[in-house]
């Protein structure tokens, strides 16, 4: 007989809560250390309305997402998914789908009818997940230019 999963979505808001998310987020944002992660999350929460939500299965954090409302002329009002990552040992168990579905539900409840994200060119499995499992359309390329300091 399989064990019953107790899933919990929790928005991480305090410094302590945000820091607990680093253990999962570091698998996606490998260039960040704990301090720069905390500093960026706090600033994004304050200035951009960024929300950090973790998914727990039986008390263990298994996935995390960061998203925020945005306004552009091409999308109007929409939600931008900045981060979405599942603990490597917990992948392919449906956690990413549950967390992204949470974002979709949050968006609808808060008056947004578009959710958008970007994904690195090398992340072929992620692209298959977004397009085939979550029915996202591939609508553009994202370009980036690093300016010298």
pLDDT in tens, the chain (149 residues): 457 889 999 999 999 999 999 999 999 999 999 999 999 999 999 999 999 999 999 999 999 999 999 999 999 999 999 999 999 999 999 999 999 999 999 999 999 999 999 999 999 999 999 999 999 999 999 999 999 98
CA atoms within 13 A on the CB side of 34: 8
Q: How would you classify residue 111: left for phi > 0, otherwise alpha for psi between -120 and 50, otherwise beta?
A: left
Q: Give how far the C-alpha of residue 91 lies from the chain's centroid of Cα atoms, to the nearest Å.
A: 15
Convert the pLDDT of each residue in 47-82 to its tens digit.
Answer: 999 999 999 999 999 999 999 999 999 999 999 999
d(CA 137, CA 145): 24
Sign of CA pseudo-dihedral 114, 135, 82, 16 = positive
Full-model pTM: 0.94
C-alpha distance across the termini of the chain, in Å: 58
Bridge partners of 21? none
Question: What CATH number matches the domain at 7-133, 3.40.50.850, 3.65.10.10, 3.40.50.150, 3.40.630.30?
Answer: 3.40.630.30
């Amino acid at each position: 007989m399989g064990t019953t999963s107790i899933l919990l979505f929790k928005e991480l808001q305090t410094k302590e809560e945000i820091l607990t998310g680093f253990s999962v987020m570091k698998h996606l944002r490998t260039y960040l250390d704990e301090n720069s992660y905390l500093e960026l999350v706090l600033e994004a929460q304050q200035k951009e309305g960024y929300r950090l939500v973790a998914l727990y299965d039986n008390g263990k954090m298994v996935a995390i997402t960061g998203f925020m409302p945005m306004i552009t002329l091409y999308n109007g009002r929409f939600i931008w998914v900045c981060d979405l990552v599942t603990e490597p040992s917990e992948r392919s168990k449906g956690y990413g789908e549950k967390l992204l579905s949470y974002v979709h539900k949050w968006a609808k409840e808060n008056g947004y009818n578009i959710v958008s994200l970007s994904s690195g060119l090398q992340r072929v499995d992620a692209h298959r997940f977004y397009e085939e499992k979550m029915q996202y359309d591939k609508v553009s390329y994202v370009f980036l230019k690093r300016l010298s300091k």
